[in-house]
Amino acid sequence: MKFGGTSMAGTERIRRVANIVRAQAVGRNGEANEVAVVVSAMAGETDRLVNFCREANALYDPAEYDVVVSSGEQVTSGLLALTLQSLGHKARSWLGWQLPVKTEGAHAKARIASIDAPDMVARLEAGEIAVVPGFQGITDEGRISTLGRGGSDTSAVAVAAAVKADRCDIYTDVDGVYTTDPRIVAKARKLKAVTYEEMLELASVGAKVLQTRSVGLAMKAGVRIQVLSSFVDDGAALADDLPGTLIVSDEEMDQMVERGEMERQLVTGIAHDKNEAKVILTRVPDKPGAVAHIFEPLADASINVDMIIQNVGRDKGETDVTFTVPQADLARAQALLEDRREEIGFNRIITDSKIAKISVVGVGMKSHAGVASTMFRALSDRGINIQAISTSEIKVSVMIDEDETELAVRVLHTAYGLDAEE
Ligand code: ASP
Ligand code: MG
């Protein structure tokens, strides 16, 4: 079970969490469960700690940053263990270095290399609840590391994989994964299940329910995830009744469809992302090596390029190249390219951060034609102009004017028959 920052914010909420955890551990009809719980820091706490680091030293050492920011989870894990004990249940915390959660890669954005937890497993089998602070691990040198913001989701999936859990229930402030953002479309529906691939696309294109990396890890390790709300009434459905959204393999999804528990849809969900910016380089030489000159410096600076379009060459052997980068990296990207104007040989840089990327996602489109044309028709009927297009096997994305985001999402939700019935 994993609980996010909103669920852990304050002793009152931690008590509710403890009650949910205890109910799961006690189980139904005398069938107890072995439960490991992964927790986030209290909402806002990690931001507060990051600010302290900035104030202390603007050019902070990432290893010391990790010491500071990992402490939020240390507090909540201890508090949850204490609260469970006060309810009469055996419980203890297992810090990252105690399990241990071994990590590799740079401080502040480490990756989990392995979790070896024989001691914890033995105590689970003896009926003790394990409480694990998310987000933290230990490096080869024995120093504390953290996994990047939102990393507790990944900790939870990694712990679930390590103990071969039946399920990893991720409790959060939403009650599942929706066909689209319910704040934009009132008729958005909660999905009973999505596949890992779909969730990866939905997570990376802006449906921020889970850290993207956690979904990739779950897919690799075969961990079944359920996303569900921790804000439930006392009489609400138990997690075992699967009230949230399951994130599962293609095979399990097929079985659910066969059993009639799910309907196979062409499009599963619609995501939007306003955090990208568009860059156009005009009159780039249309010759081998030209685009390599553009994208190599961006890659070296770890700037993620997403959509790319290169127009066909005009006369004079020139072409325009358009692409998107995260808005936060736009200034840096622009400076890097300006510095290489001669080398790349472009004429002008035009940038625009008032764009949005809208994506329709669904495994169903692997085997069906016409998904993209439905999208283009629906948008054009509302006069929405498409500035760029990109596709994968299970996704079609378009770039549009940011002001038209909400309209586009609504129009597409209807066009693919996703609206909930009245
Ligand atoms: N507390 C960390 C953060 O705010 C990790 C997490 O909650 O997932 O990013
Ligand atoms: Mg989170």
Domain boundaries, the chain: 2-261, 265-422
Given a cut of 50, the residues of the chain with pLDDT beneath it are none
Closest C-alpha to 363, from 393, 400, 320, 402: 393
**β partners of residue 103:** 112
The residues near 300 (Cβ < 8 Å, ≥ 6 apart) are: none
**Token representation of residue 291:** 């685009």
The C-alpha angle with vertex 210 and arms to 151 and 181, in degrees rounded to 5, equals 145
Residue nearest to atom 7 of ligand 1 (CA): 40
Give CB contacts under 8 A, 24+ apart, made by 232-237.
Answer: 232/20
Helix, strand or coil for residue 406?
A: helix
Closest C-alpha to 155, from 66, 83, 217: 217
Q: pTM, whole model, 2 decimals?
A: 0.88
Residue 138 contacts residue 96 (beta carbons within 8 Å): yes
Distances (CA, A) of 333 to 2, 66, 139, 336, 388: 37, 28, 32, 5, 19
**Token representation of residue 286:** 């249309």
Residue 103 contacts residue 111 (beta carbons within 8 Å): yes
Residue nearest to atom 9 of ligand 1 (CA): 149
**Token representation of residue 221:** 């390790």
Could you tell me the distance, in angstroms and rounded to a whole number, from the CA of residue 3 to the centre of ligand 1?
11
**β partners of residue 245:** 227
Ion ligand 2, residues whose Cβ is below 5 A away: 4, 150
**Token representation of residue 141:** 């040198």
Pairing of strands 168-172, 2-3: parallel
Ligand 1 contact, 134 CB (< 6 A): yes
Ligand 1 contact, 135 CB (< 6 A): yes
Tell me which amino acid residue 345 is: G
Q: Which fold has domain 2-261?
A: Carbamate kinase (3.40.1160)
pLDDT on residue 234? 65
Helix, strand or coil for residue 312?
A: coil
Residue 112 contacts residue 145 (beta carbons within 8 Å): no
Ligand 1 contact, 5 CB (< 6 A): yes
Could you tell me the distance, in angstroms and rounded to a whole number, from the CA of residue 128 to the centre of ligand 1?
25
Query: What is the spatial distance between Cα 324 and Cα 402, in angstroms, rounded to a whole number?
Result: 14
The residues near 8 (Cβ < 8 Å, ≥ 6 apart) are: 14, 17, 39, 40, 41, 42, 43, 76, 80
Ligand 1 contact, 151 CB (< 6 A): yes
Ligand 1 contact, 69 CB (< 6 A): no
Please tell me the total number of residues recorded for the chain in this structure: 422
Residue nearest to atom 8 of ligand 1 (CA): 150
Ligand 1 contact, 145 CB (< 6 A): no
Ligand 1 contact, 46 CB (< 6 A): yes
Give CB contacts under 8 A, 24+ apart, made by 328-337.
Answer: 328/275, 329/301, 329/303, 329/304, 330/277, 330/279, 332/301, 332/303, 333/279, 333/298, 333/301, 333/303, 334/279, 336/297, 336/298, 336/301, 336/303, 337/279, 337/281, 337/294, 337/297, 337/298
Residue nearest to atom 5 of ligand 1 (CA): 150
329: left (phi > 0), else alpha (psi -120 to 50), else beta?
Answer: alpha
Query: What is the spatial distance between Cα 332 and Cα 357, in angstroms, rounded to a whole number?
Result: 21
Could you tell me the distance, in angstroms and rounded to a whole number, from the CA of residue 153 to the centre of ligand 1?
8
**Token representation of residue 87:** 């309810």
Rg, the chain, Cα only: 24
Pairing of strands 308-310, 318-326: antiparallel
Ligand 1 contact, 72 CB (< 6 A): yes
Could you tell me the distance, in angstroms and rounded to a whole number, from the CA of residue 258 to the centre of ligand 2?
33
Helix (H) or strand (E) holding 292: helix 290-300
Could you tell me the distance, in angstroms and rounded to a whole number, from the CA of residue 232 to the centre of ligand 1?
22
Residue 271 contacts residue 206 (beta carbons within 8 Å): yes
Helix, strand or coil for residue 388?
A: strand
Of all atoms in ligand 1, which is nearest to the CA of residue 5? 7
**Token representation of residue 146:** 């953290």
Q: Is 235 exposed, middle or buried (0-12, 13-18, 19+ CB in 10 A)?
A: exposed
Distances (CA, A) of 169 to 190, 199, 227: 16, 15, 6
Query: What is the spatial distance between Cα 217 and Cα 208, in angstroms, rounded to a whole number?
Result: 17
pLDDT on residue 389? 93
Please confirm whether the linkage preceding 297 is cis (ω < 30° from 0): no
Could you tell me the distance, in angstroms and rounded to a whole number, from the CA of residue 213 to the centre of ligand 2?
12
Tell me the CATH number of domain 265-422, given options 3.30.2130.10, 3.40.50.2000, 3.30.1330.40, 1.10.357.10: 3.30.2130.10
Residue 193 contacts residue 245 (beta carbons within 8 Å): yes
Ligand 1 contact, 155 CB (< 6 A): no
pLDDT on residue 173? 83
Which of 37, 50, 152 to mutate for ligand 1's pocket (most ligand atoms within 8 Å of CB)? Answer: 152
Ligand 1 contact, 42 CB (< 6 A): no
Of all atoms in ligand 1, which is nearest to the CA of residue 149? 9
Residue nearest to atom 6 of ligand 1 (CA): 150
